[in-house]
């Protein structure tokens, strides 16, 4: 409801004031874009699930050998 009131008020404004409103809104958008979006660990994990699913591009490089890694001498 308030959105409609704002839009109606903008229609009544002269162009100079409309431009000020646009610049203000753009500045708010720019500020929001500069803030990194924070995700919970759960949200981040849910985003990553497809990358770790069997057959995904990430898992195709997984070593399926069963030898113990610590026995490999030249790993450093």
**Does residue 75 sit within a domain?**
no
What is residue 70's predicted lDDT score, i.e. its pLDDT? 64
What is residue 39's predicted lDDT score, i.e. its pLDDT? 80
What is residue 66's predicted lDDT score, i.e. its pLDDT? 64
Residue 50 in this model has a pLDDT that exceeds 90: no
The answer to whether 59 and 52 are in contact (CB under 8 A) is: yes
Structural domain of 17? 2-62
Distance CA 6, CA 27 (A): 18
What is residue 60's predicted lDDT score, i.e. its pLDDT? 60
**Does residue 22 sit within a domain?**
yes
Give the count of domains, the chain.
1
**Does residue 25 sit within a domain?**
yes
**Does residue 28 sit within a domain?**
yes
Q: What is the pTM of this model?
A: 0.46
Question: pLDDT, tens digit, for every residue of 11-23?
Answer: 999 999 999 999 9
pLDDT band at 5 (very low <50, low <70, confident <90, very high): very high
Q: What is the mean pLDDT of residues 47-70?
A: 71
**Does residue 67 sit within a domain?**
no
The answer to whether 29 and 21 are in contact (CB under 8 A) is: no
**Does residue 74 sit within a domain?**
no
């Amino acid at each position: 409801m308030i959105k409609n009131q704002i839009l109606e008020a903008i229609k009544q404004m002269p162009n100079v004031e409309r431009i000020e409103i646009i610049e203000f809104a753009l500045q708010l958008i720019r500020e929001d874009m500069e803030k990194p979006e924070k995700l919970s660990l759960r949200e981040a994990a849910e985003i990553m699930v497809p990358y770790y699913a069997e057959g995904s591009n990430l898992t195709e490089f997984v070593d399926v050998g069963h030898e113990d890694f610590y026995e490999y001498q030249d790993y450093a």
